[in-house]
């Protein structure tokens, strides 16, 4: 150990600031957050320096976990919410990846106006998410929203998008896909450009049709990029709080695990930090399980180190 | 100017089992000498060079430059310049900035840097390109910039790691001569790594042959060619390669099919109680024999015509199994494919004998 | 010989290599135009709305122009609805600080991980991935305590550090990938030329990694520029210390949204982000690809 510190001291010096910042601002709070899940901490029991009040929360063992995992509606109907979260994540990632790949393939061809298309298509990424959320909320409004006006002029029904129905979930999925496509598209475009052109030429000489070239050259060439962006996409979407919260508000039909944690955290007089943290730990566990399966599946395919 | 010494220097890569990339290397390079490290890929030649540069740790032993132990000195304290295979030119700097970078880091006055860069550029015919970025240069020009970067610094040792392998064949031959001439003129100690034995033979004052991290032989090109220390060096140096066959041996000499090669008294003493020996003969030491002469029956499989000479590849049955032999013949009258010809030695002295197991040279 | 001649003399029926038929070309552009319209329309619609008075913005049949004027912008900028100038200045300060610190931290870390296989480098990268899995916002209470203990609660610097922890893990991944594409020969050449390991990083690798740094800066800037939850939790409640994203909530009352004013303010917020985007967009593909390809 001492030898490795001597040999790599400059590497450790370069990493140290990040490790310190992450340890102080993530790991320590994380440990404290995990501890909260075993207590009954909330707004009335937490220490309050302003009111000069001592902390009065108590250790309650696994009570929070038992409450949440019972699936009781007063604790956010965990299993139903988990199912909705999985549907939300799956749909968003599939649609984002599919659209991103399609657009990347189109943009990867030589053509006129390519640069312009690229700038326009990446634009949603550059707009701060809370502004996009307002914009879509405004457009989805059932009375004065442009979307329903458009549907009406086409003779289609004009539903209440952000009301108490599953349409609200559809609406937030649309918004999230709109937000997420640019990242996928840019990453996949880069992946496409890293595939050597002579592979396509070799396939063409071997007599591969365009579809076969896509299956046998493009997709394998993108596997490494894809595995990374899909994993990131799943993690980010699973925890995507601002979009749902700002577009749909506290709507039970769009409630996913992370928004419920927020509801517990911010709303109501109680501010139930304990249950919110319990949700946080459960979200982390679900994602860790997913990530380890995902990596194992990739390793079986010979990808990833 | 300085001499270089490897003193039982080893580089061991951790792993299971650990790999000795360079194993107990002992090598002394004289001041002003041009030493070539040559060997197949994985022989440790580049690692040995990088140990000298300070880019690779020395796990055992020591390395000295100019008599000073530099084993634990970082690269910048070793007063060396290095030319990389990829040239490693800094893409964001112009040619002039690339060449002057090391001087700038040393705090050399601007005007002095400018003069030295201009001088080196003139020597290498780069004056026109000083303001260009490396991207805008051809492969040969980039190679010269890499050379220039090393020259400008006036280091005590030049290190070159396969500096010609990214050039096309014609340019490589030309540059080979230029580098050798330049080194002659500057008189700077130079260690040059290559996998190309022609480069090694034509450029080096001495050539060190490495294999699996072990030094096989270090000698002048002539010596290496005429008296290879073992079967590996014998087969590695020379193109086409030396014919190396394991053959039975009797009191009369080495028994090739239809040809008995008599051995000198000294050689026979060396062979001692062996019944077999690795017998080596270079293609140019063989000739086509007349019908009445003693010789091996060789069935022609391929003829490579090079103009003045031709190389005949064919098989000879030794102890019942066909063995490939290469023979150099006159380019104007080569035998035809499928023909059977008789092959004999030009001179009984032009043979090499090696121990059949250790591969060590047997002659005195 | 004659056969080859005949073969080449045959009239060419197939299209030239790499040329599309007219229909395919039309289809390609049609799809891209539709996609571009969808991508741009929400922003365009906010722009249109930003010129309308609040009550016109909620008419049942929206029109492009409806009593449009610059009044909303005048109101917002003049501070009639809150200290827009302060918010803007706070946001710029916090976003720029976040960008500089996050880029610096992720560059050093990314370089160390890319170049030196030191013991602990792999767990470090894995922990970066895990950090992103925890819903960060749930950490607000413990974070509050930490910032309080450090004396940073309610200060811009505290918020900047919090933003860095969200931006640095992804940025490090991205930059590590980018550094991996720079040949190590360059580093070694620098070492031989007389640079220390830090010198190599500072004078050779950073200048060469500009595209990767640009993308990282863009990402870090956006992370800080549009964030609401932490900003409302960790900045003091005074109106003059809010950021834009927090301040704009003024236009969203309990039961009523001042859409016209909100739109105008949104456009003003979006402009700096779009400018930053425009500056780095030509680097985005190369920079992000390197990070994602290497993963």
Question: Where does the pLDDT of residue C256 fall: very low under 50, low under 70, confident under 90, or very high at 90 and above?
Answer: low
Residue C8 buriedness (CB in 10 A; 0-12 / 13-18 / 19+)? exposed
Cα gap B313→B322, rounded to integer Å: 12
Mutate which of B105, B107, B134, B191 to test chain C, going by most C C-beta atoms within 10 A? Answer: B105
What's the CATH number where A247 sits?
Answer: 1.10.3720.10
pLDDT in tens, B135-188: 999 999 999 999 999 999 999 999 999 999 999 999 999 999 999 999 999 999
Give me the domain span that covers residue A200: 79-269
* C126 in any annotated domain: yes
CB B116 within 8 A of CB B103: yes
Q: What pLDDT is recorded for position C291?
A: 59
Which residues of chain C lie closer than 8 angstroms to A46, CB-CB? 141
Bridging pattern class, strands B321-330 and B189-194: unpaired
Angle at alpha carbon of residue B293, lines to B292 and B295, rounded to 5°: 125
* B200 in any annotated domain: yes
Cα gap C226→C242, rounded to integer Å: 12
Residues B104, B34 within the same domain: yes
Helix (H, G, I), strand (E, B) or coil at B155: coil
pLDDT in tens, C224-236: 988 877 888 788 7
Give me the domain span that covers residue B349: 241-354
* A20 in any annotated domain: no
Q: What pLDDT is recorded for position C10?
A: 44
* B150 in any annotated domain: yes
Handedness of CA B174, B180, B182, B184 (dihedral sign): negative
pLDDT in tens, B216-266: 999 999 999 999 999 999 999 988 999 999 888 887 888 887 788 887 777
Rounded to two decimals, the pTM is 0.84
Please tell me the total number of residues recorded for chain B in this structure.
364
* A287 in any annotated domain: no
Q: What pLDDT is recorded for position A302?
A: 62
Which residues of chain C lie closer than 8 angstroms to A144, CB-CB? 57-60, 62
* C38 in any annotated domain: no
Subunits with 3+ Cβ pairs within 8 Å of B are C
Q: What pLDDT is recorded for position B30?
A: 95
pLDDT in tens, A84-107: 999 999 999 999 999 999 999 999
Question: Where does the pLDDT of residue A112 fall: very low under 50, low under 70, confident under 90, or very high at 90 and above?
Answer: confident
On the question of pLDDT at C65 being above 80, the answer is no
Give me the domain span that covers residue C157: 78-294
Residues B160, B272 within the same domain: no
Contacts of residue B132, Cβ cutoff 8 Å, sequence gap at least 6? B94, B95
Domain count, chain A: 1
CB C191 within 8 A of CB B76: yes
Helix (H, G, I), strand (E, B) or coil at A41: coil
Mutate which of C183, C184, C185, C194 to test chain B, going by most B C-beta atoms within 10 A? Answer: C194
What's the CATH number where B82 sits?
Answer: 3.40.50.300
Angle, helix C84-115 to helix C121-131, in steps of 10 degrees: 150
Residues B209, B316 within the same domain: no
* A184 in any annotated domain: yes
Which of C137, C109, C171 has its CA nearest to residue A29? C137
Contacts of residue A237, Cβ cutoff 8 Å, sequence gap at least 6? A88, A89, A92, A93, A96, A176, A180
Question: Where does the pLDDT of residue C285 fall: very low under 50, low under 70, confident under 90, or very high at 90 and above?
Answer: confident
pLDDT in tens, C168-199: 988 998 898 889 889 999 999 999 999 988 89
How many CA atoms, within 13 angstroms, populate the side-chain half-sphere of residue C242?
18
pLDDT in tens, A56-76: 788 888 888 998 898 888 888
Domain count, chain C: 1
Residues B227, B80 within the same domain: yes
On the question of pLDDT at C12 being above 50, the answer is no
Residues B216, B74 within the same domain: yes
Is-cis flag, bond preceding C10, omega within 30? no
Residues B269, B217 within the same domain: no
How many inter-chain contacts (B to C, CB under 8 Å) are there?
58
* C240 in any annotated domain: yes
Please tell me the total number of residues recorded for chain C in this structure.
295
What's the CATH number where C259 sits?
Answer: 1.10.3720.10
C189–B53 C-beta distance less than 8 A: no
* A156 in any annotated domain: yes
* A59 in any annotated domain: no
Question: Where does the pLDDT of residue C98 fall: very low under 50, low under 70, confident under 90, or very high at 90 and above?
Answer: very high
* B362 in any annotated domain: no
CB B249 within 8 A of CB B278: no
* A178 in any annotated domain: yes
* C272 in any annotated domain: yes
* B364 in any annotated domain: no
Average pLDDT value for chain B: 91
How many CA atoms, within 13 angstroms, populate the side-chain half-sphere of residue B39?
24
Q: What pLDDT is recorded for position C3?
A: 43
Of the candidate ranges B67-76, B109-118, C130-139, the one whose mean pLDDT is the lowest: C130-139
* C55 in any annotated domain: no
Subunits with 3+ Cβ pairs within 8 Å of A are C
> What number is the average pLDDT over the span C136-149?
80
> What number is the average pLDDT over the span C230-246?
81
* C191 in any annotated domain: yes
Which residues of chain C lie closer than 8 angstroms to B85, CB-CB? 185
In terms of CA atoms, which chain B residue is nearest residue C194? B76
Which residues of chain B lie closer than 8 angstroms to C190, CB-CB? 90
First and final C-alpha spacing in chain C: 53
pLDDT in tens, A255-290: 999 888 888 887 666 678 888 889 989 999 999 999
Average pLDDT value for chain C: 82
**Is the ipTM of this structure higher than 0.90?**
no
């Amino acid at each position: 150990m001492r030898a490795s510190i001597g040999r790599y001291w400059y590497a450790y010096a370069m990493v140290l600031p990040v490790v310190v910042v992450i340890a102080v601002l993530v790991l320590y709070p994380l440990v404290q957050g995990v501890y909260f899940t075993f207590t009954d901490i909330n707004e009335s029991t937490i220490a309050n320096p302003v009111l000069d009040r001592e902390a009065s929360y108590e250790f309650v063992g696994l009570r929070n976990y038992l409450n949440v995992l019972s699936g009781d509606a007063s604790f956010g109907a965990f299993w139903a919410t988990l199912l909705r979260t999985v549907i939300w994540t799956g749909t968003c990632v599939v649609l984002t990846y599919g659209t991103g790949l399609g657009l990347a393939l189109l943009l990867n061809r030589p053509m006129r106006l390519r640069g312009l298309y690229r700038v326009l298509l990446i634009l949603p990424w550059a707009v701060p998410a809370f502004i996009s959320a307002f914009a879509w909320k405004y457009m989805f409004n059932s009375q004065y929203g442009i979307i329903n006006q458009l549907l009406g002029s086409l003779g289609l029904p004009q539903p209440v998008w952000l009301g108490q129905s599953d349409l609200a979930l559809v609406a937030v999925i649309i918004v999230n896909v709109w937000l997420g496509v640019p990242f996928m598209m840019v990453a996949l475009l880069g992946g496409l450009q890293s595939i050597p052109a002579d592979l396509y030429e070799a396939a063409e000489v071997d007599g591969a049709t365009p579809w076969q070239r896509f299956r046998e050259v493009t997709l394998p060439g993108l596997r490494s990029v894809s595995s990374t962006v899909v994993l990131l996409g799943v993690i980010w979407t699973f925890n995507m709080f601002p979009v749902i919260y700002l577009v749909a508000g506290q709507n039970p039909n769009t409630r996913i695990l992370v928004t419920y944690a927020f509801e517990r955290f911010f709303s109501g007089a109680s501010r139930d930090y304990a249950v919110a943290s319990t949700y946080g730990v459960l979200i982390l566990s679900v994602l860790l399980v997913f990530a380890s399966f995902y990596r194992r599946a990739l390793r079986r395919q010979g990808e990833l180190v | 100017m300085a001499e270089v010494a490897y003193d039982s220097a080893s580089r061991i890569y951790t792993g299971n089992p650990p790999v000795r990339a360079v194993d107990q290397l002992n090598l002394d390079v004289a001041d002003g000498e041009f030493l070539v490290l040559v060997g197949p890929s994985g022989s440790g030649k580049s690692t040995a060079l990088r140990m000298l540069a300070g880019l690779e740790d020395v796990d055992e032993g020591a390395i000295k430059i100019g008599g000073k132990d530099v084993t634990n000195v970082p690269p910048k304290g070793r007063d060396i310049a290095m030319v990389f295979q990829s040239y490693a030119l800094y893409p964001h700097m112009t040619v002039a900035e690339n060449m002057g970078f090391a001087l700038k880091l040393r705090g050399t006055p601007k005007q002095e840097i400018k003069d030295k860069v201009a001088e080196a550029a003139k020597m290498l015919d780069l004056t026109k390109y000083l303001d260009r970025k490396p991207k805008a240069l051809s492969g040969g020009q980039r190679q010269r910039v890499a050379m220039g970067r090393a020259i400008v610094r006036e280091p005590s040792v030049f290190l070159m790691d396969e500096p010609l392998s990214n050039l096309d064949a014609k340019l490589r031959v030309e540059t080979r001569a230029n580098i050798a001439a330049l080194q002659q003129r500057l008189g700077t100690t130079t260690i040059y790594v290559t996998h190309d034995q022609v480069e090694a033979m034509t450029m080096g004052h001495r050539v060190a042959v490495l294999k699996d991290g072990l030094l096989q032989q270090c000698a002048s090109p002539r010596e290496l060619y005429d008296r290879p220390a073992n079967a590996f060096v014998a087969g590695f140096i020379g193109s086409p390669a030396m014919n190396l066959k394991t053959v039975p041996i009797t009191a009369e000499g080495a028994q090739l099919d239809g040809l008995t090669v008599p051995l000198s008294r000294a050689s026979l003493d060396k062979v001692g109680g062996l019944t077999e020996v690795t017998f080596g003969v270079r293609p140019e030491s063989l000739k086509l024999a007349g019908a009445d002469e003693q010789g091996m029956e060789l069935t022609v499989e391929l003829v490579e015509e090079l103009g003045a000479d031709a190389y005949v590849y064919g098989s000879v049955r030794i102890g019942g199994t066909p063995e490939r032999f290469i023979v150099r013949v006159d380019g104007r009258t080569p035998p035809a494919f499928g023909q059977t010809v008789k092959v004999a030695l030009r001179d009984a002295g032009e043979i090499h004998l090696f121990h059949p197991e250790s591969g060590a040279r047997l002659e005195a | 010989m004659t056969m080859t001649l005949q073969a080449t003399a045959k009239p060419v029926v197939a299209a030239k290599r790499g040329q599309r038929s007219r229909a395919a070309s039309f289809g390609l552009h049609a799809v891209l135009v539709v996609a571009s319209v969808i991508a741009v329309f929400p922003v365009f619609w906010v722009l249109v709305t930003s010129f309308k008075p609040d009550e016109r913005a909620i008419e049942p049949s929206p029109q492009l122009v409806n009593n449009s004027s610059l009044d909303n912008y005048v109101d917002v900028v003049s501070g009639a609805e809150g200290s827009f100038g302060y918010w803007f200045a706070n946001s710029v300060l916090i976003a720029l600080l976040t960008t500089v610190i996050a880029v610096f931290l992720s560059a050093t870390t990314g370089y160390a991980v890319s170049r030196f296989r030191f013991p602990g480098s792999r767990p470090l990268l894995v922990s970066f991935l895990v950090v992103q899995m925890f819903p960060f916002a749930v950490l607000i209470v413990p974070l509050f305590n930490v910032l309080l203990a450090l004396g940073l609660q309610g200060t811009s610097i505290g918020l900047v550090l919090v933003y860095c922890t969200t931006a640095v893990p992804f940025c490090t991944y991205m930059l590590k990938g980018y550094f991996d594409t720079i040949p190590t020969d360059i580093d070694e050449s620098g070492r031989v030329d007389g640079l220390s390991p830090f010198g190599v990083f500072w004078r050779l690798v950073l200048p060469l990694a500009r595209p990767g740094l640009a993308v990282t800066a863009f990402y870090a800037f956006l992370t800080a520029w549009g964030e609401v939850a932490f900003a409302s939790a960790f900045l003091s409640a005074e109106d003059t210390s809010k950021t834009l994203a927090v301040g704009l909530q003024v236009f969203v009352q309990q039961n009523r949204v001042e859409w016209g004013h909100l739109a105008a303010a949104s456009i003003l917020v979006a402009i700096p982000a779009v400018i930053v985007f425009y500056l780095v967009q030509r680097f985005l593909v190369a920079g992000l690809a390197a990070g994602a390809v290497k993963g």
